[in-house]
Amino acid sequence: MQGRLLQEFLKKSDISDVLDSALAGKRPLGLDDCIRLVKSDDAYSMGLAANILRQRLFGDRITFVNNIILNYTNVCVTYCKFCAFYRPPGHEESYTVPKEEIVRRVATSREMFGITQVLIQGGHNPNLKIEYYEDAFRAMKEKCPEVGIHGLSPSEVDMIAKVERSSTKEVLSRLKAAGMDTFAGAGAEILEDSVKEQISPLKIKSGEWLRIMEEAHNAGLKSVATMMYGTVETEEDRARHILKIMKLQEKTGGFVCFIPWSFEPNNTEMQAQGLIKYPSGGLQLLKMIAISRIMFYGLIDHLQSSWLTNGIGMAQLALNHGADDFGGTLIGEEVVSATGARSTELTSDRIVAAIKQAGYRPAERDNLYRTVRNF
């Protein structure tokens, strides 16, 4: 009875045919389908369908990772207009964390919080050679072999390759050999060069991001894919971004998770220039979570609820719209916190409580979504 009532409700939606196809497991959904979803105002129907798809995969189980984020340098020469974190070389507020301090932070966090992952990301620092990363990764693995290294981004790898006058393929191979377990997927923003020219003109183009990500997958590095929405992109741009991730996943199978997150304009150049005054808001988050589940169903299993830029309450709602992962504890995060929007530290106890409050069963996982323990 409940299933028939749901079907009757969904039939009244302007996107009922797309939702029916998704629920029936018909693939592939295409660009036109995705554009219709992004343009539709029927977030409720999308959420219902996406939640059914999540339940089919995971039941009432929601995961999270106990980790720290280590922003090893804020020195950056790409000057992205959406970033409040970076400082140019020589700036009085610029820093680079010494390798010994990196190891100390990881070891201390392992002892104090029991972390199983370190997410290491930073600016595009032209003064850092690849040995900085290799030495840090090897030392981390020697001191804390139980902690997975979830590291860097395609644009950071591109920067290292330029410094070394090497290929990105060689850089990825060396980083993996030094101990990098999985590849972080930051720096995608929106994979349309017309958008990148406005918000990050000095950063690698969309094709380069996709190429480096494919090289990582071919090297045996699993990764996440991201999307930062809410800047100057159009609805069609968002859809094209999702389709590009889908096509690469169909080719390599290397993405383990997708993370859509909203741009936070506070303290950024884009806000100062009056381009973007306010964040996208909660409804857009729920829509993008639901659309991601619908479009990636059968391709990318895991979908993060994006508490970092939207807060715990919205992340809990996102669990009812298709997300199956709460993300990480992110102790020590500095990039989003530089906007001053909200506190970006969350302990594992608070995440477990938030998942239970939303009516789900929490489980801690590692880099590759293997279960560490159930609660």
Beta-carbon neighbour count of residue 240 at 10 Å? Answer: 20
Please report, in range form, the residues annotated as the binding site for (3R)-3-methyl-D-ornithine: 153, 306
Q: What is the CA radius of gyration of the chain?
A: 20
Please report, in range form, the residues annotated as the binding site: 76, 80, 82-83, 153, 189, 306
Position 346 scores a pLDDT of: 81
Identify the three-state secondary structure at position 266: coil
Position 9 scores a pLDDT of: 62
Instruction: Name the β-bridge partners of 239.
Output: none
Instruction: Name the β-bridge partners of 374.
Output: 363
Position 279 scores a pLDDT of: 73
> pTM, whole model, 2 decimals?
0.92
Please report, in range form, the residues annotated as the binding site for [4Fe-4S] cluster: 76, 80, 83
Domains delineated in the chain: 30-374 (3.20.20.70)
* Residue 219 token pair: 């090297």
H/E element, 169: helix 168-178
Position 168 scores a pLDDT of: 98
Q: Who contacts 150 (Cβ-Cβ below 8 Å, separation ≥6)?
A: 67, 117, 118, 119, 120, 181, 182, 183, 184, 367
Please report, in range form, the residues annotated as the binding site for S-adenosyl-L-methionine: 82, 189
Question: What does the DSSP assignment read for 21-82?
Answer: HHHTT-----HHHHHHHHH---HHHHHHHHHHHHHHHHTTEEEEE-EEEEE-B-B-SS--TT
Separation of alpha carbons 75 and 15, rounded Å: 45
Position 89 scores a pLDDT of: 93
Position 341 scores a pLDDT of: 46
Distances (CA, A) of 17 to 4, 7, 37: 16, 11, 11
Q: Could you report the average pLDDT of every consecutive run of 10 residues in the chain (375 residues)?
A: 57 89 90 97 95 97 94 93 86 96 94 93 96 98 97 97 98 98 94 95 96 98 95 96 98 97 76 73 92 97 86 92 92 47 69 96 96 96
Position 7 scores a pLDDT of: 65
